[in-house]
Structure 1
Amino acid sequence: MIEHVGVTTAAGTFDGITAGEGRPVLLLHGFPEAASAWEHQVVALARAGYRALAVDQRGYSPGVRPADPGDYHVDELVGDVLAIADACGWDTFDLVGHDVGAVVGWHTAAAHPDRVRTLAALSAPHPCALAEAARTDEDQAMRSQHLTLFKERSAERRLLADDAAALRAVFEHRLPPSAVADYVTRLSEPDALSAALNWFRASRRPVLPDPVSVPVLYLWGTEDVAVGSTAALSCAKWANGPYHFEMLDEVSHRPHWDAPEAVAALLIAHLT
């Protein structure tokens, strides 16, 4: 059912996968993955009567890989979401994001409620909730230390050393070896890992979005190593519209991999 596509915008061509016909749903992957991370959900959404599109985002698509870290500012990433929707002819669309893709989703939904019908965020809570927890909760401060490490100039060398041992460890050994190998191969291409890390290097001070007014589904796994319960449970404060929080037991930072059927069912229930 899945079709590989290219979506051409003024910034360049985004690679992606798509399936189905009907109401459009755009899915944004996290670090350091790609559109392929959403294969199960894309198929499930298509079967449920939706037009699902997952894209390799800025830096992950070779056709949209600027060298300047400033070109990865969140405003540029939100602009990509709208440009992709425009290229597809979507006036409004449902938005799903994981990890940094969820961060882009929060920003897009907050700034453009006229375009985003609903938001589903996996793992990453509203950025204000995460920032507040990192300031006030010692456990979250420890969990967020990797964000500083990713900004260091030596990050590429350290992540790719010893057959990319550190990069492979980012996946917590929960993904199929074939998927990890694919991502490592992609990020070993010239400038690819730097582009992915530029998401974290684009701004010294995080830009925080307003509260979100569109309907929100937030999914968080109890075994998430990057986001603790303080940030997850406080996310509701930053959702002014209908809000549903789902805690997934024994699920890691990557719910779409650990519990693909459950995540797909929750997404479909949220959309309907």
Structure 2
Amino acid sequence: MMSTSTLTEFSRDGLTFDVIDTGPRDGDPVILLHGFPERASSWEQVAARLHEAGLRTLAVDQRGYSPRARPRRVRDYRTTELADDVAVLAELLHEQTGRRPHLVGHDWGSAVAWTLAMRHPDLIRSLTAVSVPHPGAFLRSEFTSTQFLKSWYFVPFTAPFVMTALARRPRLIDPMLRRFGMTPAEVARFHTGIVGYGVLPYGLHWYRAMALADRGLLAEQVRVPTTLVWSDGDVAVGRHGVEGTAARMAPEADYRLVVLEGVTHWIPTQAPEPLAAAILARVAAS
């Protein structure tokens, strides 16, 4: 019998992850993965629109963001580890509902979602990646386009203590966040939900663990039905990697690209309606 109980947490390897489980209990499940520097609550507006269409959403505070899932070593934040965390949730949902979930990720959550789709394609019905293209296409764009200029922030993000020191000085870090397109309300949530909640050092470990990534995945094709949603106002992610993603898709993936015009990087909070529409179109076709 299908379980309709609310799922507020799940565990893996001694770590416990908090989940915001909302929407119709009998709806098809959709896992929502946030990026940096955001948390599960960033999906609130998108989730509301998915609920109206009859879907159940499960937004996760991922590794380093959930207080009971904060290992200290950088190596514990490799993307494969992050993806395997979500794989546990996908398996649990399948066990409880008899349905494979749809997967949606934004920013770093997109990188985790791509990795899960490549490592465990049997666990999900579809993938909607938001803002960040296929990891192999993104890395190639670093060397073949101006993407490396857009990625300048990797330097302070990976340097020890730089960002944590800046975060204590709003007059220095706030202009940087606004440069990336954050609104004043989003900057305020960074200070309360990321800095004040103790997330920042662990969220930065995601960047520092990039050097330990599984390089073999960069050449992997994605075989699940996939939509990439990108916005042309994104100052962090350029068009070159986005256009290169199609070559990383298997024919059966039914790959689609949705470009939102005039929207910044923060699509889930600043353009929830067109993003929800893209997700719903992917779900309906899968």
Preserved contact between residue 175 and residue 257 of structure 1 (Cα < 8 Å): no
Q: Which residue in the other structure is 2:129 paired with?
A: 121
After TM superposition, give the deviation of residue 14 of structure 1 in Å. Answer: 1.6
Q: Which residue in the other structure is 2:225 paired with?
A: 215
Give 1:33's match in structure 2, choosing from 31, 38, 41. Answer: 38
Q: Which residue in the other structure is 1:258 paired with?
A: 270
Q: Taking every aligned residue pair, what percent have the same amino acid on both sides?
A: 36
Q: Which residue in the other structure is 1:19 paired with?
A: 22
Preserved contact between residue 7 and residue 87 of structure 1 (Cα < 8 Å): no
After TM superposition, give the deviation of residue 171 of structure 1 in Å. Answer: 5.1
Relative to structure 1, the CA distance from residue 120 to residue 73 in structure 2 (aligned partners, 3 Å threshold; closer, same or farther) is: same
Q: Distance in 1 between matches of 2:78 and 2:212?
A: 11
Give 1:71's match in structure 2, choosing from 70, 73, 76. Answer: 76
Which shows bigger deviation, 174-183 or 254-263? Answer: 174-183
Which shows bigger deviation, 210-219 or 154-163? Answer: 154-163
Q: Distance in 1 between matches of 2:279 and 2:91?
A: 23
Q: Give 1:96-175 correspondences, 5 Å limit.
A: 96-137=104-145, 139-163=146-170, 165-166=172-173, 169-170=176-177, 172=179, 174-175=181-182
Q: Distance in 2 between matches of 1:236 and 1:140?
A: 18
Taking structure 2 as the reference length, the TM-score comes to: 0.87
Matched residue SS, 1:125: coil
Matched residue SS, 1:114: helix
Q: Please report the RMSD computed on the Cα atoms of aligned residues, expressed in angstroms.
A: 2.2
Q: Which residue in the other structure is 2:8 paired with?
A: 6
Q: Which residue in the other structure is 2:255 paired with?
A: 243
Q: Distance in 2 between matches of 1:192 and 1:167?
A: 17
**2:87 alignment partner AA:** L
Relative to structure 1, the CA distance from residue 173 to residue 141 in structure 2 (aligned partners, 3 Å threshold; closer, same or farther) is: closer
Preserved contact between residue 83 and residue 116 of structure 2 (Cα < 8 Å): yes
Aligned residue pairs, count: 269
Preserved contact between residue 72 and residue 202 of structure 2 (Cα < 8 Å): yes
Relative to structure 1, the CA distance from residue 156 to residue 5 in structure 2 (aligned partners, 3 Å threshold; closer, same or farther) is: farther
In terms of fraction of residues, the more strand-rich structure is 1
Give 1:234's match in structure 2, choosing from 241, 244, 258. Answer: 244
Taking structure 1 as the reference length, the TM-score comes to: 0.91
Unaligned residue ranges in structure 1 (runs of 5+) = none
Give 1:58's match in structure 2, choosing from 47, 57, 63. Answer: 63
After TM superposition, give the deviation of residue 170 of structure 1 in Å. Answer: 2.6
